[in-house]
Amino acid sequence: MTNPVRILVAKPGLDGHDRGAKVIAQGFRNAGMEVIYTGLRQTPEQIVHTAIQEDVQVIALSCLSGAHRYLFPKVMELLKSEGVDDIIVLAGGVIPEEDIANLKEAGIREVFTSGTPIKVMLEFINENTGPVGGVL
Amino acid sequence: MEEILKKVFSGDRRTVARAITMVENRDPRRYRMLAGLRSKASHALVVGITGSPGAGKSALVDRLTTEYRRKGLTVGIIAVDPSSPFTGGALLGDRIRMQQHATDPGVFIRSMGTRGSLGGLSRAAGEAAQILAAGGKDIILIETVGVGQSEMEIMKIADTTVVVLTPGAGDSIQTIKAGIMEIADVFALNKADLPGARRMAREVRVMVETNCHGAPWCPPVIETVTINGQGVTELVQAIENHCQYLTESGKLEEQRRQRVLDELSETIISLFGEWLGRQGQQQGLLTSAAKQIASGQVDLYGAAMAVLQEIFAGGLKEEGYSFSGQEAFKK
Amino acid sequence: MEQKNRELAAAKEQWEKNLREKILPRFPERKERFLTHSEIPVETLYTPLDTENTDYLEELGMPGEYPYTRGVQPTMYRGRTWTMRQYAGFGTAEETNRRFKYLLDRGQMGLSVAFDLPTQIGYDSDHPLSFGEVGKVGVAIDSLKDMETLFKGIPLDKVSTSMTINSPAAVLMAMYIVVGEKQGVSMEQLSGTIQNDILKEYIARGTYIYPPEPSMRLITDTFEYCSAHLPNWNSISISGYHIREAGSTAVQEMAFTIANGIAYVEAAIKAGLDIDEFAPRLSFFFNAHLNFFEEIAKFRAARRIWARIMKDRFGAKNPKSLMLRFHTQTAGCTLTAQQPDVNIIRVACQALSAVLGGTQSLHTNSRDEALALPSEDSVLIALRTQQVIAYETGVTDTVDPLGGSYFVEDLTNRVEKAAMDYINRIEAIGGAVRAIEEGFQQMEIMDSAYKYQLEIESEERVVIGVNRFQIEERSPQDLLRVDPVLEENQRRKLSQLKQERDPLAVSGSLDRLKEAATGTGNLMPLILEAVRAYATLGEICDVLRDVFGEYQQKAIF
């Protein structure tokens, strides 16, 4: 069996709507990934430290409160300051079209707005994660 | 490899994380790395936390971490959750209860899936513990899945094993899994604020005392409540007492010697197994042997011996961990 | 009767053989099995046979009479229609105050306040965790000062106000009381609701602060205070809405909500309150989702279950204690970002189910909510949807118009039974609080949510514009955005307030609150005192955090 993709599903900010995060976490798990779920109310700092310790290839951020414009770029900024440039960061939630360009500019690789099927996300992840394992 | 080791020793978080990935992924280079780490890993105390799902192990690990940090000790945490045997996927959610420590440089938390290990404890957990120790952590807490044989396995890699019990609805001592009494160095009776806790504590104490008649170490029963942290200081003290007992009685040395022996034979078996797998596949040896067995040309034992002979005649060469036959043993 | 039923059974069998089975080869049914959202099977045809065991007076009764299946009032909407109450709030108190007046001017009958997340979790706007969240999903309230602005020019003796606030509900209610005082409106004249339902926060919505035990104490404190001083105030709105939004089925929504209701009643009784004192002030809040008839059945079954539990289990005597009165909101989670105007039709159907189910008040969602906060135009269409149902369709002209429908009565019975199974399972675990601690409800909801998603992805479940009848479309314009400058302004106002108020009055009141919190007395009077001194919401909640601790989310996988 090949080594599973490790992915962090994180909910930054105070938003308590975790239906989407839990649904995709289950979808990723059932697709054979190791999904680290950290629960509600995560600060950008907690998310970045967790991603490093867990050595994930992907971070999936979910926020429905509208605070994504502040919180998502903050995560990217912290990753950069930790010298991390090889983790793919994805975003989901209630994100207006007009915000997407800004988020991508900040380094978010793809934005999946509500209604995106899990299989679309899985395809994206599989296409964008290289062979896994022990590359130091 | 030198570079990696140096970075692990300096506690570089990314390198430590990558090193753990290496052992999780059974990367062949891990043997070399682990060999290099060994000398810097012996100072740490490895504590196993086991008990049924729902016993509150994660919350207890969180509280223990707070207490150790208060005492100025650094903590590495390995939290194991089950992997699906069908997809290999896993939902690793133990961290939820520990995220207050996520940004503390004195704490390193790693979640692991069991990845096909039958016993319910990731095979890599023990190796990851060594990496965290070499990275400078003083206390390594390993939280098991709590089902299957994980208690038996944790016993082999932990210096001290804490068994977490809880008073379930109408639970009594009878419902506690058989064999668990022999594993515990310390009992934590968690959720001690629930009805029935008092009675259960009494029962466990009676049972422990009858069991350890005259033994040099008798597992204490500590009542804990993770909501308010009650009993956690006492639990840390009990773990420390056990550690002191291990050191003074020479048991720590003995346990660790035994562990080296176990690891050595496991390493030989797994090295050979991995190598055999690839070698046999490449040469089609195994498949053709299997065909011969099926057709009744040879028996299974005879075929196995023949395969071994064939392989050893070809010599042992393997990428990643060069293994130059007899020369290795001469040195 | 028996003779008639036998004839009917024979006729149905004939029909099955001679008609249905004959046309099936040529006109097969669209699916092998038809199921409601809760997976209750739906048959091709219902007849009196399906309700033959339903004793009318036992199970249905007259409207306004036990067990209230047909409605809580004798004449229902023939007297007065439901209260049209649109949930609103964003940005600062000034802006929300303007939106309130806009809605009242256009025929809205009651206010419903949405607070931002920092307010809901008891953080001031200058708390580090508040950054990026201030004014986003509702209005930011840091202190009494903001509350005064929010209701400026709105006489509190003339409107009823519902506040979606849970963990810090006591504090926001105290602020509302003091705003009333300053307007010269006494507590007896105030009418409205605080959501005050912490259990569903642990289950589904996430804006908890304290652990269950002290949270339940705060709730019973408000019950007691309201019974004594605010006769027209609903001290709790026991909410299934968010449980449903988190992905539960209709049955789970209703069952978990009733189970939570039982836990509140038990806590209040344990705190020494008289059931017929507080129970009339309990209200409920449900979701109106897409499976039209199951939703109606859910509302009807909920009334029957609650009445029986209150009467048989708790021995309530006051008829008002037995009545399940509820607010309804249409299902936000069913709104799509694709072809957003189609959401207007979804909302209309859902709203109709709430009306046919006998709701006491209703919020209709706006078409653009899957994209952003609702714009003024969208809110107006949503309100007009209710008005069309109320004043043009005639569905309000008789009580419970679907009562006696073979299908609806059968479905009501089935929903009731399935819900009771869940309620009994929760009882067996040790009640709602214990089950939450075990993660039972959370796990059930998570499974249902995942299943729902898979049904959409496999196209077994049709979502117009998402997996069927898609079109190329331009991204919508004119969405409402909250100006980021506003967050800074809110923090500036807060720091200004902290300089202007009397620091000794603040610290004195907070100290007294803290001391009281370590004891067992009712905290409402002390919270009122702190609010009057302009202690901030964050300061008050922090004092209680020190004493009560904070809730840790359960890992439920």
The confidence score (pLDDT) of residue B148 equals 64
Dist. CA B5–CA B1, nearest whole Å: 6
- Residues of chain C above pLDDT 90, percent: 90
Dist. CA B324–CA C483, nearest whole Å: 69
Average pLDDT estimate for C429-442: 94
Residue C263: HSE in the Cβ half-sphere, 13 Å Cα cutoff: 28
Block means of pLDDT (10 residues each) for chain B, 331 residues, are 92 96 89 89 93 90 97 97 92 95 97 81 86 97 81 86 80 62 90 88 88 87 92 98 96 89 84 74 79 90 84 59 42 36
C17 touches chain B (CB under 8 A): no
Q: Which residue has the higher pLDDT, A113 or B325?
A: A113
Nearest-neighbour CA in chain C from A136: distance (Å):
31
Average pLDDT estimate for C176-192: 97
Query: Residue C471 burial (CB < 10 Å; 0-12/13-18/19+)?
Result: exposed
Beta carbons of C347 and C385 less than 8 angstroms apart:
yes
Which chain A residues contact residue B27 at CB under 8 A?
A: 133-134
Helices (H), C25-168: 93-105, 117-120, 144-150
Residue in chain C nearest B93 by alpha carbon:
C555
Average pLDDT estimate for C350-371: 95
Average pLDDT estimate for C137-166: 96
B22 touches chain A (CB under 8 A): yes
Which chain A residues contact residue B18 at CB under 8 A?
A: 55, 134-136
Q: Which CATH class is domain A6-128?
A: alpha beta
Q: Which CATH class is domain C56-457?
A: alpha beta
Query: Residue C242 burial (CB < 10 Å; 0-12/13-18/19+)?
Result: buried
Q: Minimum mean pLDDT among B281-285, C11-15, C433-437: which range?
A: B281-285
| Res. C454 pLDDT band, cuts 50 70 90 | very high
Which chain B residues contact residue A22 at CB under 8 A?
A: none
When mean pLDDT is compared over A118-132, B136-150, B293-307, C49-63, the highest value belongs to C49-63
The confidence score (pLDDT) of residue B316 equals 57
3-state secondary structure C233-299: EECEEEECHHHHHCCCCHHHHHHHHHHHHHHHHHHHHHCCCCHHHHHHHEEEEEEECCCHHHHHHHH
C553 touches chain B (CB under 8 A): yes
Dist. CA A37–CA A48, nearest whole Å: 13
Q: C42: helix, coil or strand?
A: coil
Q: Which of A39, A46, A33 is CA-nearest to residue A82? A: A46
pLDDT in tens, C236-262: 999 999 999 999 999 999 999 999 999
The confidence score (pLDDT) of residue A97 equals 85
The amino acid at residue B280 is G
Q: Is there a contact between C553 and A39 if contact means CB atoms under 8 Å apart? A: yes
Dist. CA C91–CA C137, nearest whole Å: 8
C468 touches chain A (CB under 8 A): no
- Nearest beta carbon to residue C117 from set A22, A65, A98: A65
Distance from the Cα of residue C129 to its chain's centroid: 26
Dist. CA C52–CA A10, nearest whole Å: 53
B111's CB contacts (< 8 A; 6+ apart) are A34, A36, A54, B79, B80, B81, B92, B94, B95
The confidence score (pLDDT) of residue C35 equals 96
The confidence score (pLDDT) of residue B325 equals 39
Average pLDDT estimate for C264-287: 96
User: Using CA atoms in the order C410, C412, C413, C419, what is the torsion angle rounded to 10 degrees?
Assistant: 140
C480 touches chain A (CB under 8 A): no
Dist. CA C431–CA B127, nearest whole Å: 43
Helices (H), C15-109: 21-23, 93-105
C25's CB contacts (< 8 A; 6+ apart) are none
The confidence score (pLDDT) of residue B307 equals 80
- Nearest beta carbon to residue A40 from set C206, C337, C456: C206
Q: Per this entry, what is the length of chain B?
A: 331
Q: Is there a contact between C557 and B97 if contact means CB atoms under 8 Å apart? A: no
List subunits contacting chain A, requiring 3 or more Cβ pairs under 8 Å: B, C
Dist. CA C510–CA C533, nearest whole Å: 9
Q: Is there a contact between B59 and C552 if contact means CB atoms under 8 Å apart? A: yes
Q: Minimum mean pLDDT among B284-298, C1-15, C270-284, C524-538: which range?
A: B284-298
The model's pTM is 0.92
Phi/psi of residue C445, nearest 5 degrees: -65, -45
Which chain C residues contact residue B54 at CB under 8 A?
A: 438
pLDDT at C294 over 70: yes
pLDDT in tens, C78-127: 999 999 988 888 889 999 999 999 989 988 888 999 999 999 999 999 99
What ipTM was predicted for this assembly? 0.93
Instruction: Work out the widest C-alpha separation in chain A, in whole angstroms.
Output: 42
Average pLDDT estimate for C289-303: 98
Residue C64: HSE in the Cβ half-sphere, 13 Å Cα cutoff: 7
Q: In the structure encoding, which two tokens stand for residue B284, read together?
A: 């089609």
Dist. CA B285–CA B266, nearest whole Å: 24
The confidence score (pLDDT) of residue A136 equals 40
C128's CB contacts (< 8 A; 6+ apart) are A43
Task: Report all structural domains of chain B as residue ranges with CATH numbers, in order of start.
Answer: 41-249 (3.40.50.300), 257-330 (no CATH)
C304's CB contacts (< 8 A; 6+ apart) are C59, C67, C68, C69, C412, C416
Q: Is there a contact between B96 and C553 if contact means CB atoms under 8 Å apart? A: yes
- In chain A, where the domains are located: 6-128
Q: Is there a contact between C128 and A43 if contact means CB atoms under 8 Å apart? A: yes
Query: Residue C541 burial (CB < 10 Å; 0-12/13-18/19+)?
Result: buried
Sheet with B45-51, strands from edge to edge, namely: B107-113, B75-81, B139-143, B45-51, B160-165, B186-189, B221-223
Beta carbons of B99 and B127 less than 8 angstroms apart:
no
pLDDT in tens, A9-52: 999 999 999 999 999 999 999 999 999 999 999 999 999 999 99
Query: Residue A1 burial (CB < 10 Å; 0-12/13-18/19+)?
Result: exposed
Residue in chain B nearest C210 by alpha carbon:
B227
Q: Is there a contact between C337 and A113 if contact means CB atoms under 8 Å apart? A: yes
Q: Helices C440-457 & C250-270, crossing angle to 10 degrees?
A: 160
Q: Which of B255, B261, B229, B228 is CA-nearest to residue B242? A: B255
- Nearest beta carbon to residue C206 from set A18, A23, A71: A18
Which chain B residues contact residue C549 at CB under 8 A?
A: 227-228
The confidence score (pLDDT) of residue B321 equals 46
- In chain C, where the domains are located: 56-457
Residue in chain C nearest A94 by alpha carbon:
C371
The confidence score (pLDDT) of residue B208 equals 87
pLDDT in tens, C398-417: 999 999 999 999 999 999 99
Q: C523: helix, coil or strand?
A: coil
